[in-house]
Amino acid sequence: MKDQIIIRTVSRILIPFIQLFALYVIAHGDLSPGGGFQGGVIIGSSIILYVIVFGIEEGRRRMPEKINDVLNSTGVLIYAGVGVLCLVSGGAYLQYSKLPLGSEHTASHLGIYGIEIGVAITVSAVMMTIFFETAGKNDD
Amino acid sequence: MIELFFGKYHYWIYIALMMIGFYAMIAKENLIKKIIGMNIFQTAVFLFYISAGKVRGGTAPILWEKAVLYDNPLPHTLMLTGIVVSVSTTAVAFAIVIKIYREYGTIEEDKILGLAEGERFREENPAPPVP
Amino acid sequence: MLDLLLLLFLVVCAIAAVSLKDLLSVTIILGAYSLIMALVWTRLNAVDVAFTEASVGAGMTTLLAIAALTRTKRMEEGGTMGKKASAARRAFIFAAVILTAVMLIYGTMDMPDFEDPLAPMQTHVAPRYTAKSYEEAGVPNFVTAVLANYRGYDTLGETTVIFTSGISVILLLRRRKK
């Protein structure tokens, strides 16, 4: 589809705004509907839009396979890591109020932020991986 | 009797949706149709749970100073997890269907079973060596 | 009234998706089904769930289904219960569906009425979540507080499930470079 000038221009302009909206949804998950999952899926969808318009090889050039494989597991590592950090600081696993980041209210809020970031990274990377693998030409 | 109907007809519509998905899962023979039936069944189950958590006069479960009564936030949380698990299962199911197509060349269930039976028969009774 | 109209539209979409033979049309109808489902959930005040269903159901599942049917066949070849099935199989399928429906309807006779504020579901642990969630968890959104603080283990399991599905798709479909 990259020879249709309207689709090419509009998607080039819109994709950064879609990703900015996704970051807004992730960051405001505590105050309004949203959170890690929804923002992660929106980031994955923006890269999938790029792949649909410009082709799979171009998309793989922008998101190399090795970085995609590493990002798959980084999110789960961050989530479990926050839990272990809470263990080290003296509480139970995933008890955010014991983190040494200020009052209990603030520590709890920041712990939830950390978790949402981890979930968003894993969900966006896995959505990209699944689309690349099912849509790529892997025939013999 | 009439108030029994008016209190519960929502649940019966959700059960109708579940049965449509169930029928697609067991009666159709195309593998992709079966997966689509499973998806319809799953979303109908989520609808059932979330509508069971609604309270008359309640608002959305976000802190608001003018609210008197809130909806129950627990089914929303559990069904959020359910939607995410549903998309993961659908993705792996589609990957398995693509693999089956590469191996057997068809995605109709009766033809695949016939081909698999033929393979198994040939494995157990190998052809005698040509003299 | 609007709720009833949306629900009937859902039933019509589901019946159409199940009976058509062209799988590309079925995928598009399923996208419309997801969108109407998100509207129904907004009418039921479940805004987080509606957001997730709109982005995941109408976005990801439609894309995955189109990618899958590009790699396999686009048209379904007959095989619906009408043509080749024997009478015994047809009778068995109808009996199974109707029996399950009757059992489920019998089960809903005992349930509390729709939108009842005194149902046991609304008086057990939910008042504690809505009353004390801001002091204990520190976030105004009750659903995020329950998801990340009160039920944090479930969310860890869910993230692991997504991660496992990504690895399964890589293992099934990626070509090894020899």
Residue of B97, A6, B88, B53 lying closest to C115 (CA atoms): B53
- pLDDT tens-digit series, residues C48-78: 999 999 999 988 999 999 999 888 888 887 6
pTM for the predicted model, two decimal places: 0.91
Residue of B8, B128, B64, B46 lying closest to A33 (CA atoms): B64
- Rounded mean pLDDT of A83-111? 86
- On the 0-12 / 13-18 / 19+ scale of CB atoms within 10 A, C176 is exposed
Question: Is the distance from CB of C15 to CB of C69 less than 8 angstroms?
Answer: no
The pLDDT value given to residue C125: 84
- pLDDT tens-digit series, residues C86-126: 788 888 999 999 999 999 989 888 888 777 777 777 888 88
User: What whole-number percentage of chain A has pLDDT above 90?
Assistant: 57
Rounded Cα gap, residues A11 and C120, in angstroms: 50
The pLDDT value given to residue A98: 85
Write phi, then psi, for B108 (nearest 5 degrees). Answer: -95, 135
The pLDDT value given to residue C80: 53
Using CA atoms in the order B75, B81, B84, B87, what is the torsion angle rounded to 10 degrees?
-70
Rounded Cα gap, residues C62 and C56, in angstroms: 9
- pLDDT tens-digit series, residues A12-38: 999 999 999 999 999 998 888 888 999
- On the 0-12 / 13-18 / 19+ scale of CB atoms within 10 A, B53 is buried
- Domains of chain B, start order: 2-58+68-123 (1.10.287.3510)
When CB atoms are compared, the residue of C67, C140, C160 closest to A135 is C67
Rounded Cα gap, residues C78 and A37, in angstroms: 39
pLDDT at C178 over 60: no
* Pairwise CB contact (< 8 Å): B91 & A134: yes
Signed CA dihedral, C125, B58, C104, B20: sign only: negative
pLDDT tier for residue C83 given thresholds of 50, 70 and 90: low
User: In B, residues 42-81, which contact C (CB 8 Å cutoff)?
Assistant: 43, 46-47, 50-63, 69-81
The pLDDT value given to residue C30: 93
- pLDDT tens-digit series, residues C146-170: 998 889 899 999 999 999 999 999 9
Signed CA dihedral, B96, B100, B106, B107: sign only: negative
**Cβ within 8 Å of residue C46, ≥6 positions away:** B50, B53, B60, B71, B75, B76, B79
The pLDDT value given to residue B43: 94
B32: its two tokens: 């992709």
DSSP string computed for A79-134:
HHHHHHHHHHTTS-TT-GGGSSSSSHHHHHHHHHHHHHHHHHHHHHHHHHHHHHHH
Give me the average pLDDT of each 10-residue run along chain B (131 residues). Answer: 76 92 91 93 93 85 86 91 94 93 86 85 82 75
Rounded Cα gap, residues B10 and C177, in angstroms: 54
Averaged pLDDT score across all residues of chain C: 87
Rounded Cα gap, residues B74 and B70, in angstroms: 12
- Count the neighbouring beta carbons within 10 Å of the beta carbon of residue C84: 11
User: In C, residues 96-115, which contact B (CB 8 Å cutoff)?
Assistant: 96-97, 100-101, 104-105, 108-109, 111, 113-115
pLDDT tier for residue C137 given thresholds of 50, 70 and 90: confident
DSSP-based three-state secondary structure for C114: coil
